[in-house]
Structure 1
Amino acid sequence: MQLRHRYRLAGSALAVAAAGALALTAPGAHADSEERGGGPHHGGGPTVDLQVLALNDLHGALEPPTGSDGELLHEHEDGTTETIEAGGVEYLAGALDEAREGEHRSVTVAAGDLVGATPLLSGLFHDEPTIEALNGLGMDVAGVGNHEFDEGFAELTRLQEGGCHPEDGCYADDREFAGSDFPYLAANVVDEDTGEPVMAPYAVQNLKGVKVGFIGVTLEGTADIVTREGIEGLEFLDEVETINHYTEVLERQGVNAVIALVHEGGYPAAEAYNAECDVDGGDLSGPIVEIAERTDAGVDALITGHTHQPYVCAVPDPEGNDRLVTSAASNGRLFTELSMSYDRRSGDIVRTSVTGSNVAVDREREPVSEMTELLDFWRELADPIANEPIGWISADIPGRGAGTPEFPAGDLIADAQLAHALSLDESTDLALMNPGGVRADLTYAASGDEGDGVVTYGEGFTVQPFANTVNLLDLTGEQLLTVLTEQVSGENEASPKILQPSDGFSYTLDLTASGADRIVADSVTVNGEPLDPSATYRVAVNSFLAGGGDGLPTLAEGTNPLVGEDDMAALADYLTANSSAEAPLDPPAADRITVVE
Structure 2
Amino acid sequence: MTSSRTRRVSSVVAVAALAATGAAFTGGSTSAAPNGPTMNIQLLSFNDFHGNLKPPTGSSARLVTGHALNPAGTAAVDVTYEGAGGVEYLATHLKQARVGHPYSLTVAAGDIVGASPLLSASFHDEPTIEAMNSLGLDATSVGNHEFDEGYKELQRLANGGCIADGAGANNQDSCPGGKSFAGADFPILAANVKYAGTNQTILPPYTIKNIKGAKIGFIGMTLKDTPNIVTKSGIEGLEFTDEVQTANALVPELRAQGVNAIVVLIHQGGAPARESWVGPDGKTYNVNPNYKWACEGGTLDPAQSPILGIAANLDPAIDMVISGHTHQPYVCNVPDPKGQPRMVTSASSFGRLFTDTELTYDKRTQDIVRTSVDSANMIVTRTVPADPAQTALINRYNTLVAPIASRVLGTITADVTTAGNAGGESQLGDLIADGQLADPSTVTAGKTPVIAFMNPGGIRTNLTYANKSWNEQPGEVTYEEAFNVQPFNNYLVSMDLTGSQVKELLREQWGGGAITSPNTVATQKILQISKGFAYSYTDTPTGRVLGAVTLNGAPLVDTQSYRIVTNNFLSDGGDGFPAFVGGTTKYFGGLDIDAFANYLEANSPYSPTVATRITKN
Task: Name the TM-score, length of structure 1 as normaliser.
Answer: 0.87
Superposition pairs of residues 163-562 of structure 1, within 5 angstroms: 163-168=161-166, 171-173=175-177, 175-270=179-274, 271=288, 272-277=290-295, 281=299, 283=301, 285-399=304-418, 406-420=425-439, 424=443, 428-444=449-465, 445-489=467-511, 495-508=523-536, 517-518=543-544, 520-562=545-587
| Cα distance between partner residues in 2 of 1:342 and 1:589 | 61
What code does the residue aligned with 1:121 have? Answer: L
State the Cα RMSD in Å: 3.1
- Residues 270, 301 of structure 2: 8 Å contact kept: no
| Cα distance between partner residues in 2 of 1:235 and 1:111 | 20
| Cα distance between partner residues in 1 of 2:292 and 2:616 | 31
Shift of 1:342: 1.6
- Residues 9, 351 of structure 1: 8 Å contact kept: no
Q: Secondary structure at the match of 1:380?
A: helix
Q: Secondary structure at the match of 1:316?
A: coil
Shift of 1:185: 0.5
| Cα distance between partner residues in 1 of 2:551 and 2:191 | 46
Match of 2:145 in 1: 147
- Residues 410, 600 of structure 2: 8 Å contact kept: yes
| Cα distance between partner residues in 2 of 1:91 and 1:467 | 29
- Whether 2:121 is the aligned partner of 1:123: answer yes
Shift of 1:17: 4.1
Aligned CA distance change for structure 1 residues 233 and 428 (closer, same or farther; 3 Å): closer
| Cα distance between partner residues in 2 of 1:336 and 1:287 | 20
Q: Which moved more, 1:555-564 or 1:394-403?
A: 394-403
What code does the residue aligned with 1:453 have? Answer: G
Q: Which moved more, 1:208-217 or 1:357-366?
A: 357-366
Match of 2:285 in 1: none
Shift of 1:484: 2.2
Shift of 1:252: 2.7
| Cα distance between partner residues in 2 of 1:241 and 1:119 | 35
Shift of 1:482: 1.8
- Residues 8, 353 of structure 1: 8 Å contact kept: no
Deviations 1:443-493 (A, max 9, x none): 332234223332210121122122222222111121112212333328999
Aligned CA distance change for structure 1 residues 362 and 441 (closer, same or farther; 3 Å): farther
Match of 2:278 in 1: none
Aligned CA distance change for structure 1 residues 422 and 378 (closer, same or farther; 3 Å): closer
Q: Secondary structure at the match of 1:354?
A: strand
Deviations 1:378-425 (A, max 9, x none): 111110110111132344444499999544433331222122269947
Aligned CA distance change for structure 1 residues 526 and 51 (closer, same or farther; 3 Å): farther
| Cα distance between partner residues in 2 of 1:529 and 1:508 | 14
- Residues 400, 439 of structure 1: 8 Å contact kept: no
What code does the residue aligned with 1:116 have? Answer: G
What code does the residue aligned with 1:438 have? Answer: I
- Residues 488, 497 of structure 1: 8 Å contact kept: yes
- Residues 508, 576 of structure 2: 8 Å contact kept: yes
Task: Name the TM-score, length of structure 2 as normaliser.
Answer: 0.84
Q: Secondary structure at the match of 1:451?
A: coil
Shift of 1:173: 5.0
Q: Secondary structure at the match of 2:493?
A: strand
Match of 2:155 in 1: 157
Shift of 1:590: 5.0
Shift of 1:134: 0.6
| Cα distance between partner residues in 2 of 1:130 and 1:197 | 24
- Whether 2:595 is the aligned partner of 1:570: answer yes
Q: Secondary structure at the match of 1:338?
A: strand
Shift of 1:502: 2.5
Shift of 1:260: 0.7
Aligned CA distance change for structure 1 residues 427 and 186 (closer, same or farther; 3 Å): closer
What code does the residue aligned with 2:399 have? Answer: E
Deviations 1:428-456 (A, max 9, x none): 33211122322233333223422333221
Q: Which ranges of structure 1 fall in alignment gaps of 5 or more residues? A: 20-39
What code does the residue aligned with 2:269 have? Answer: G
| Cα distance between partner residues in 2 of 1:420 and 1:189 | 36
Match of 1:96 in 2: 94
Shift of 1:221: 1.5
Deviations 1:350-372 (A, max 9, x none): 22222222222222322111111
What code does the residue aligned with 1:487 have? Answer: Q
Deviations 1:529-556 (A, max 9, x none): 4443223222110122222222322212
Aligned CA distance change for structure 1 residues 407 and 244 (closer, same or farther; 3 Å): farther
Identity %: 48
Shift of 1:123: 1.1
| Cα distance between partner residues in 2 of 1:339 and 1:77 | 33
| Cα distance between partner residues in 1 of 2:540 and 2:259 | 49
Q: Secondary structure at the match of 1:300?
A: strand
Q: Which moved more, 1:111-120 or 1:387-396?
A: 387-396
What code does the residue aligned with 1:102 have? Answer: G
Superposition pairs of residues 46-85 of structure 1, within 5 angstroms: 46-75=37-66, 81-85=79-83
Shift of 1:324: 2.1
| Cα distance between partner residues in 2 of 1:131 and 1:400 | 34
Q: Which moved more, 1:64-73 or 1:164-173?
A: 164-173
Q: Secondary structure at the match of 1:358?
A: strand
What code does the residue aligned with 2:82 have? Answer: I
- Residues 62, 130 of structure 1: 8 Å contact kept: yes
What code does the residue aligned with 1:435 have? Answer: P
Shift of 1:100: 1.4
Aligned CA distance change for structure 1 residues 356 and 394 (closer, same or farther; 3 Å): farther
Q: Secondary structure at the match of 2:185?
A: coil
| Cα distance between partner residues in 1 of 2:320 and 2:574 | 32
| Cα distance between partner residues in 2 of 1:510 and 1:48 | 62
What code does the residue aligned with 1:547 have? Answer: D
| Cα distance between partner residues in 2 of 1:344 and 1:360 | 32
